[in-house]
Amino acid sequence: MTRVPGIAALVILAMAYTGVGAEEVDTRREDQLKAAYLFNFIKFVEWPTGAPERTLTVCFAGGEGVHNAFSTGIENKKAGQRALAVRRLQPRENPGGCNVVYLDAQLVSTDAYSLPADASAPMLTVSDASQFARHGGMIELFTDSNRLRFNVNVDTVQKAGLRISSSLLQLAAAVEKGGGK
Amino acid sequence: MKSSRPLSLIVWALLTSAAILAEPARAASRDLLDLSLEELMNEPITSVSKRATRLGDAAAAVSVISAEDIRRSGFTSIPEALRMVPGLNVARVSSNEWAISARGFNNEYASKLLVLVDGRAVYTPTYAGVYWENQDLVLEDVARIEIIRGPGATLWGANAVNGVINIITKSAAETQGWLSSNAYGTEEQPSSSLRYGGTSGEHLHYRVYARYFDRDRFEDSNGQPTEDAWRSMRGGFRLDWQPPGDDELTVQGDLYSSDVGQNWTSPAISAPVNLDLTLMRDNHGGNLLSRWTHRYSDTSSSSLQIYYDHLQEIYAGCIEKRDTVDLDWQHRFELTARQDVTWGLGYRRSSDDFPLTSAIVFTPQARTMSLYSVFVQDEMSFAQDRLQLTMGSKFEHNDFTGFEVQPNLRALWKLDADQAVWASVARSVRTPSRVDHDVRAAMLWTSGNPPALLTIQSNPDIRSEVALTYELGYRSQLNPTLSADVATFYSTYDHVRDVVAGNPYFETSPQTAYLTIPMIPVTEASAETYGAELSLQWTPTESWRLNTGYTLLRMQTHPVLTLATPGRNARHQIQLRSYYNVSRDFELNGAVYYVDHLESLAVPSYVRLDLGVVWRPVRELELGLSGQNLLDARHLEFATLRSATRTEIPRAVLGRITWSF
């Protein structure tokens, strides 16, 4: 059963990356909100020593609307001391070099996604996919009563050597533990 | 001349909307990135409902009690949690009764505050008020309580004269897994909730809960028990279905049963004596609600809500049964790039029956009341969104007073990114209740020869109370750690309801002749109120947050009234709440409340101190210990005219274990 969404995700992924589904994206309000959440998450996370001091690279796998809203929104903005650079991931591209990865829900199904390959890489993963935090992702955005909420998986965050501020955890709808594949 | 005014308004609106069209589209994404996470969490994805305005952008006196506020307060009931709202006057009458109002007219039957639980009105048309003792929930499942002080009638309809309280529970998706919350203390013996939330497939979330509490009786000033213990049992569910696409469906329901101990002084029918009764009110009820929302586009959505509510209440002298069906449809769309229109239709049918009556008689015994309503509201923005104008009106028809019109004009002007000024003028009405219109209730024997029986006799010609409210407010993020909110108001009230004594007349009962003094509800007085509500939020460090509030209320009536006396309302109120995180797993919380004396009830002023510690040894487990009213053994907060018993509010200590997994 769970294979089906996996296959569907692959098909959608292939479509999106060959440009079939890549119509012009008008930034929807929901995407703008997701971009604003993403920007806030980055401000609440500490990267371990060794992470770039000056610029954090924020990568997007799919999620054009969120990408567009984020790119226009962060002009002249910093997350704490760091500037932000935005990159779009190509299909099957290794996300190495990314400090933050935003995965679009359409690319993630509950059992089929592969970012990051190395769980101990200090890479913050955020997605609007259902059950993302429970299945090894770090921060999961979801819709509730017409508002965006998020869940955090503290174990995967810790494993990656990242530190999340307690004020962020207090605002999370649920704090997950464990998970992974 | 007078008739040309609406016309000029329309012309003006057309001209401005044309100007709006010419302006560039808003740079919304950049604005959103400036918001804090807390602000984002209040940000609607689409403005689906009547309440989907950003808090900072509301041209109204709005406060929110968050789930965190409730958790940190140590309060175990909804009415107690409302103490945290600056501008509300919360006075506990006994263990199970509260007098709660905003901006005056406080009473245990306060009539000008509308209360909704997940969109379901819990304001009763029987006496125009709220059965606070029935409004109980698993507090951990409450997402937030939104309080609008001042008129909300344009959106919410009649009786939202001085305020609207929206109690909003978390969705099923936010309450997944098990939660067991148990509190035990000097008053709660115990207070327990059990909830399970699960999913069925990817898009359907549900939760079911059961709750039970047993609250101890309080005492009077001499330490005599006041027999106001109560027990309550309830259970319920919520289903949220969010299939991919643009539809959302919520179905929820609750059932409850309570034994509520209350003191009533009631006249005997057979002889001219008053009986001090201790009544165990065996109340029960239930409700079922369904809400479907559909999104047509980013700027257009609609919702359809239907609910059914049943309750049965026992009083000294009568039993009430009531069935209510309510239908509500709303549609919101973008008229132009700078104009949002929301409109809606509503129908409510409430059927009651008072089958067992003795001292209190309703004529007719059973009545079905219909309420029809239409509202429309237009939100316009000008000057790069810096000026927002909202105008609208509700048009209602009720069985007692016919058509009621409740218009409202609001404006918000953003001085800069961190400061805004707002103003509002509104007309709102409080429609007559069943008690105002249809009752004959023997209240009290007075001593004398011959004996006289004070009897409330309804007045079928009673009118609606009408309020005109002017408000002016200011909101500012003074710096990243300090924010301030000031609201001031001036309201005038016409046709204020009061009770006057009519001409006495003789009646002969089987035993003896006596005098009846009719007490007749009239709506001839006028009143005015003015005041200010100030709140400050300060976050000196990342782990410490302070909330302060000050409320000033002045009230005058012409002439001096029997029931709606200014002296039942606290003139000054001050509160200070502190949240301190010692470490990630350990919290210290405290609150101090000062409430001014109530002159006409001879209730002295009081200071209340609450302290609490919360410890999370592991994430699934939360242990709490809180002390409430620590400064005195007990104190008086209000006095009901219904009974000679004056119940005092005791010091309480409470331990709590909350386990979620």
Show the 3-state SS of B556-617.
EEECCCCCCCHHHCCCEEEEEEEEEEEECCEEEEEEEEEECCEHHHCECCEEEEEEEEEECC
Whether residue A93 lies within 8 A of chain B, CB to CB, comes out as no
Q: What is the pLDDT of residue B234?
A: 96
B402-416 and B387-398 beta bridge pairing = antiparallel
Contact B658, B140 (CB under 8 A): yes
How far does the CA of residue A18 sit from the closest CA of chain B (Å)?
24
Tokens of B601: 């009830």
Cβ of B32 and A148 within 8 Å?
A: no
Beta bridge partner(s), residue B501: B519
Distance CA B135, CA B153 (A): 22
Contact B353, B366 (CB under 8 A): yes
Flag whether pLDDT at A147 surpasses 90. Answer: no
- Residue B102 burial (CB count, 10 A): 30
Contacts of A35 in chain B (CB under 8 A): 29, 32-33
Whether residue A165 lies within 8 A of chain B, CB to CB, comes out as yes
Q: Does ipTM come in above 0.85?
A: no
Nearest neighbour of A36 by CB, restricted to B40, B168, B542:
B40
Whether residue A2 lies within 8 A of chain B, CB to CB, comes out as no
How far does the CA of residue B70 sit from the closest CA of chain A (Å)?
14
Tokens of B494: 């016409």
Contact B325, B349 (CB under 8 A): yes
Beta bridge partner(s), residue A88: A60
Tokens of B493: 């009230």
Q: What is the pLDDT of residue B249?
A: 95
Flag whether pLDDT at A114 surpasses 80. Answer: no
Q: Long-range contacts of range B497-501, CB-CB < 8 Å, 24 or more positions apart? A: B497/B111, B497/B430, B497/B432, B497/B436, B497/B462, B497/B465, B497/B521, B497/B522, B497/B523, B497/B563, B497/B564, B498/B522, B498/B523, B498/B524, B498/B525, B498/B561, B498/B562, B498/B563, B498/B564, B499/B456, B499/B562, B499/B563, B500/B562
Distance CA B623, CA B659 (A): 9
How far does the CA of residue B134 sit from the closest CA of chain A (Å)?
25
Whether residue A149 lies within 8 A of chain B, CB to CB, comes out as yes
- Phi, psi for B234 (deg, rounded to 5): -155, 160
- Residue of A72, A145, A149, A167 for testing the chain B interface, max B β-carbons within 10 Å: A145
Half-sphere exposure of B23 (CA within 13 A, CB side): 19
Q: What is the pLDDT of residue A62?
A: 81
Contacts of B326 (CB under 8 A, 6+ apart): B120, B121, B305, B306, B307, B308, B309, B346, B347, B348, B349
Cβ of B581 and A69 within 8 Å?
A: no
CA distances from B381 to B15, B148, B334, B340, B546 (A): 13, 22, 12, 9, 34
Cβ of B32 and A27 within 8 Å?
A: no
Whether residue A25 lies within 8 A of chain B, CB to CB, comes out as no
Contacts of A170 (CB under 8 A, 6+ apart): B68
Nearest CA in chain B to A109: B202
Nearest neighbour of A166 by CB, restricted to B37, B43, B584:
B584
Whether residue A158 lies within 8 A of chain B, CB to CB, comes out as no
Tokens of B335: 């008229």
Cβ of B37 and A69 within 8 Å?
A: no
B interface with A, Cβ–Cβ < 8 A, is 28-30, 32-33, 35-38, 40-46, 48-49, 52, 68, 143, 168, 170-171, 173-174, 176, 202, 242, 248, 293, 298, 542, 581, 584, 619
Whether residue A86 lies within 8 A of chain B, CB to CB, comes out as no
- Residue B205 burial (CB count, 10 A): 22
Q: What is the pLDDT of residue A118?
A: 63
User: Residue B10 is which amino acid?
Assistant: I
Beta bridge partner(s), residue B477: B483
Q: What is the pLDDT of residue A47?
A: 87
B634-635 and A82-88 beta bridge pairing = unpaired
**Quick one: pLDDT band at residue A88, thresholds 50, 70, 90?**
confident
Nearest neighbour of A149 by CB, restricted to B174, B248, B298:
B174
**Host H or E run for residue B278:** strand B274-297
How far does the CA of residue B125 sit from the closest CA of chain A (Å)?
29
Residue whose tokens read 């200070």: B576
How far does the CA of residue B297 sit from the closest CA of chain A (Å)?
10
Cβ of A77 and B33 within 8 Å?
A: yes
Distance CA B88, CA B83 (A): 7
Cβ of B35 and A36 within 8 Å?
A: yes
Q: Which of B342, B390, B382 is nearest to B24 (CA)?
A: B382
- Residue B28 burial (CB count, 10 A): 16
Cβ of B29 and A72 within 8 Å?
A: yes
Q: What is the pLDDT of residue B28?
A: 41
How far does the CA of residue A36 sit from the closest CA of chain B (Å)?
5
- Which range among A26-35, A147-156, B447-456 shows the weakest confidence by mean pLDDT? A26-35
Angle at B643 between CA B642 and CA B649, to 5 degrees: 110
How far does the CA of residue A9 sit from the closest CA of chain B (Å)?
15
Question: pLDDT tens-digit profile of A38-86?
Answer: 998 998 888 887 777 788 899 998 888 899 889 888 877 888 778 888 9
If you ran DSSP here, which 8-state letter would residue B459 be given?
-
Contact B608, B576 (CB under 8 A): no
- Residue B467 burial (CB count, 10 A): 28
Beta bridge partner(s), residue B197: B177, B207
Nearest CA in chain B to A148: B41
Q: Interhelix angle for A64-73 vs A29-43, to 10°? A: 60
Distance CA B607, CA B533 (A): 19
Contact A115, A13 (CB under 8 A): no
Distance CA B83, CA B68 (A): 15
Distance CA B180, CA B79 (A): 22
The per-residue pLDDT of chain A, averaged, comes to 75
Cβ of A69 and B171 within 8 Å?
A: no
Cβ of B33 and A170 within 8 Å?
A: no
Cβ of B33 and A36 within 8 Å?
A: yes
Nearest neighbour of A29 by CB, restricted to B37, B168, B298:
B298
Cβ of A171 and B41 within 8 Å?
A: yes
Whether residue A71 lies within 8 A of chain B, CB to CB, comes out as no
Strand spans (E) along B118-270? 120-121, 123-124, 129-130, 142-149, 163-169, 177-185, 188-200, 204-215, 230-241, 247-267
Nearest neighbour of A147 by CB, restricted to B28, B36, B41:
B41
How far does the CA of residue A32 sit from the closest CA of chain B (Å)?
5
User: Residue B475 is which amino acid?
Assistant: R
User: What 3-state DSSP class applies to B515?
Assistant: strand
- Residue B523 burial (CB count, 10 A): 20
Q: What is the pLDDT of residue B73?
A: 93
Q: What is the pLDDT of residue B53?
A: 53
Nearest neighbour of B33 by CB, restricted to A44, A74, A131:
A74
Contact B585, B613 (CB under 8 A): no
Conformational region of residue B644, where left means phi above 0, alpha means psi within -120 to 50, and beta covers everything else = alpha
Mean pLDDT, residues A112-128: 71
User: What 3-state DSSP class applies to B15?
Assistant: helix
Cβ of A73 and B30 within 8 Å?
A: yes
B366-382 and B360-362 beta bridge pairing = unpaired
Cβ of A32 and B48 within 8 Å?
A: no
H-only helix segments in A19-118: 29-43, 64-73
Query: How many Å separate Cα B589 from the centre of its chain?
Result: 25
Nearest neighbour of B29 by CB, restricted to A73, A110, A143:
A73
Contacts of A32 in chain B (CB under 8 A): 28-29, 32
Angle at B353 between CA B348 and CA B359, to 5 degrees: 130
pTM for the model: 0.78
Q: Which residue ranges in chain B fall short of pLDDT 70?
A: 1-31, 44-56, 509-511
- Residue B1 burial (CB count, 10 A): 4
Beta bridge partner(s), residue B410: B390, B424
Contacts of B40 (CB under 8 A, 6+ apart): A33, A36, A37, A40, A148, B32
Contacts of A73 in chain B (CB under 8 A): 29-30, 32-33
Flag whether pLDDT at A116 surpasses 70. Answer: no
Query: How many Å separate Cα B434 from the centre of its chain?
Result: 20
Whether residue A132 lies within 8 A of chain B, CB to CB, comes out as no
Cβ of A32 and B29 within 8 Å?
A: yes
Beta bridge partner(s), residue B319: B314
- Phi, psi for B291 (deg, rounded to 5): -135, 130
User: What 3-state DSSP class applies to B132?
Assistant: helix
Cβ of B33 and A39 within 8 Å?
A: yes
Q: What is the pLDDT of residue B510?
A: 57
Cβ of B581 and A144 within 8 Å?
A: no
Residue B266 CB-density burial (10 A; 0-12 exposed, 13-18 middle, 19+ buried): buried
Whether residue A35 lies within 8 A of chain B, CB to CB, comes out as yes
- Phi, psi for B321 (deg, rounded to 5): -125, 135
- Residue of A144, A157, A163 for testing the chain B interface, max B β-carbons within 10 Å: A144
